[in-house]
Structure 1
């Protein structure tokens, strides 16, 4: 049988030329919260059942139409839950690809993620497959993910992506329960032929509230280690919800704040919640990030582009002079800015200092970030 011809590649815009006041570098659409895993850190607190008010197929297509208004090659990440629980997933990928979007996917490591499914997604136009591995062995990963066999299923899918010519990204959550797995994971990421290792530093939302985050000093050590890994690894390294990794990298490489248009490891500077980043929930709510659940409206009303560009919250998050406390006094605030999601989770104020950062600006004598927001 002749395989269907894959769609032509959408040209990726130059990250250094993206004006993040006008378009996000990455738009994440949580297509569902349904998932058959029970991951300890799950932001969505996912369960096996789909929500009855999820965006429908037609509403999803209208969302992708809106996303295309940001400009050619807009990056869209379909996330969950597990996107594979939606029977229209391939249809949505094909539609977004035809609209000129760069469609990527973060599926869960379940029995649905077969090599055949991976190949079909490639034929539909997927530009990258991002898979999660939180341990370098089956026992470590499966314990964290809550389902036996998830590790093997994920590794099988990673190899299928490689065989299908789909660029592979590996996502890893860093917390006290997983940090010792990082060296083994580094080797596994290389062995799988991934192009990028995305390391997520825990934000206490969803089921992640019960996990133990790293201390600021320990997080600093991990970021220094990741920066050293990036020097020699055959893959790129980025962090999620840890923008101070940019500061660590610059300090290690230049001992200077005189930074160029990227951070020395090939990534766009300054992307954070609401500033180069936007998140649409399964029910259509528009947030600065999935970890900063303050809605500025619903995309069912057609407000994706206007909400990103003009909403008071998004505009405020893009102005680093709004930062308070230690982050507001930091000379690195325009290339780092701290995790606005973590600040919000701990204090209820998205402009407060990030409590994970160990760095103290010279001469700073104000209060250090502490506390935890109420659950109200």
Structure 2
């Protein structure tokens, strides 16, 4: 399955699409994130029921200026020393197409050798011409959200009639343009049963990756209901089976224990820890909020991820590199031995680590156990056994 790369002019690294990461050999998350998620603006033409950003029709006062945005790109260069790879930048929102200076920012990223993906909202701004323009500008991938197998389901979440049809059209136009697509699908207590139908729909189209986003109750997402741990496990097992037969990669967002479910059968069959870590499925092992991921808000606030709204500083006042590397919260999130409860005791915590965002949303402590995972660790167990 093809995937673009984000590089300095002379060195590169692989990643799934700039939306979900693939860890190259030798990458150290204490040095640099794989992905910088950058919320260019809070402005958006949609009013999605689960919106993390609680996006609004117009941009907020205080958003990064063009000069500040380009300064952030220059700062990102500081993550890589000689021979080291740069993070990939995902420009998101709101709707990044609502930033008038988006062409300038894309050109500036390309000039600096920074790979970029976009997460546009499906509104009238996302035209056929704009999708082909993204390809010409060097955008390496885009993500589109599809939250149901029918217009009634999807438009009911996105709150704008016609969004379902426009999303399918955009998916097909991107394929025509040769622009890789990740499709994101929200998973909640009320939408999970529709996942098989969404999969059947997507199987008739071209995409690189399907990401199942397990709801975090922040922003407007507090209006929706998360799955129970048992139901989540059931759907993650379904996703693991689907991944084996799909023509595109199936991954999860904020359901890191998917990695346990993928690896556990191989361990039971006699595969060693080292053998599993050498397989493609291990490429996302360890990536979680603050570990391989960092988020910059439209106002410049830096958090471990967009779903973990715990600010460690602002790029208007401090270097993103130092905030990611040195802030105590970020350091703790990269050390699973500091995790509490079942996540701290779990033999899979290096590979999984649980959703730090969900732990924070439920308990106020990002180091607590992920309440969505039902797994009970075996006392003294080790993956090396």
Deviation at 1:263, TM superposition (A): 6.4
Counterpart among 56, 61, 66 of residue 70 in structure 2: 61
Deviation at 1:188, TM superposition (A): 2.6
Deviation at 1:266, TM superposition (A): 5.5
Equivalences for 1:167-178 in 2 at 5 Å? Answer: 167-178=180-191
Q: Does 1:134 align with 2:147?
A: yes
Deviation at 1:32, TM superposition (A): 0.9
Q: Does 1:271 align with 2:287?
A: yes
Equivalences for 1:255-270 in 2 at 5 Å? Answer: 255=268, 258=273, 260-261=276-277, 264-265=280-281, 267-270=283-286
Counterpart among 166, 187, 204 of residue 153 in structure 1: 166
Deviation at 1:363, TM superposition (A): 4.6
Provide the C-alpha distance between the structure 2 equivalents of 1:27 and 1:313, rounded to a whole number of angstroms: 17
Provide the C-alpha distance between the structure 2 equivalents of 1:90 and 1:106, rounded to a whole number of angstroms: 15
Question: Which residue of 1 is the match for residue 127 of structure 2?
Answer: 114
Deviations 1:226-276 (A, max 9, x none): 111111111111111111000011123432782533665252310011110
Q: Does 1:201 align with 2:214?
A: yes
Deviations 1:344-365 (A, max 9, x none): 000000101111001111259x
Which stretch shows the higher mean deviation, 126-135 or 87-96? 87-96
Using a 3 Å threshold, how does the CA distance of structure 1 residues 184 and 292 change in structure 2: closer, same or farther?
same
Counterpart among 58, 78, 103 of residue 91 in structure 2: 78
Provide the C-alpha distance between the structure 2 equivalents of 1:48 and 1:263, rounded to a whole number of angstroms: 44
Question: Which residue of 2 is the match for residue 353 of structure 1?
Answer: 369
Q: Which runs of 5+ in 1 are unaligned?
A: 1-7, 365-376
Contact 1:161 1:167 in 2 (8 A): yes
Counterpart among 16, 20, 34 of residue 25 in structure 1: 34
Counterpart among 288, 309, 321 of residue 305 in structure 1: 321
Using a 3 Å threshold, how does the CA distance of structure 1 residues 157 and 77 change in structure 2: closer, same or farther?
same
Provide the C-alpha distance between the structure 1 equivalents of 2:50 and 2:297, rounded to a whole number of angstroms: 18
Which stretch shows the higher mean deviation, 212-221 or 60-69? 60-69
Provide the C-alpha distance between the structure 1 equivalents of 2:202 and 2:87, rounded to a whole number of angstroms: 26
Question: Which residue of 1 is the match for residue 242 of structure 2?
Answer: 229
Provide the C-alpha distance between the structure 2 equivalents of 1:58 and 1:96, rounded to a whole number of angstroms: 13
Deviations 1:60-93 (A, max 9, x none): 1111111122234421000111111111112211
Q: Which runs of 5+ in 2 are unaligned?
A: 15-22, 381-385
Provide the C-alpha distance between the structure 2 equivalents of 1:73 and 1:330, rounded to a whole number of angstroms: 31
Using a 3 Å threshold, how does the CA distance of structure 1 residues 9 and 298 change in structure 2: closer, same or farther?
closer
Counting matched residue pairs gives 358
Cα RMSD over matched residues? Answer: 1.9
Deviations 1:24-75 (A, max 9, x none): 0111001111111111111111110101111111111111111122234421
Deviation at 1:281, TM superposition (A): 0.4
For residue 186 of structure 2, give the secondary structure of its aligned residue in structure 1. strand
Question: Which residue of 1 is the match for residue 356 of structure 2?
Answer: 340
Contact 2:6 2:87 in 1 (8 A): no
Counterpart among 229, 253, 256 of residue 240 in structure 1: 253
Contact 1:250 1:264 in 2 (8 A): no
Report runs of 4+ in structure 1 exceeding 2 Å deviation.
8-17, 71-74, 187-192, 252-268
For residue 58 of structure 1, give the secondary structure of its aligned residue in structure 2. helix
Using a 3 Å threshold, how does the CA distance of structure 1 residues 16 and 198 change in structure 2: closer, same or farther?
farther
Provide the C-alpha distance between the structure 1 equivalents of 2:233 and 2:256, rounded to a whole number of angstroms: 11
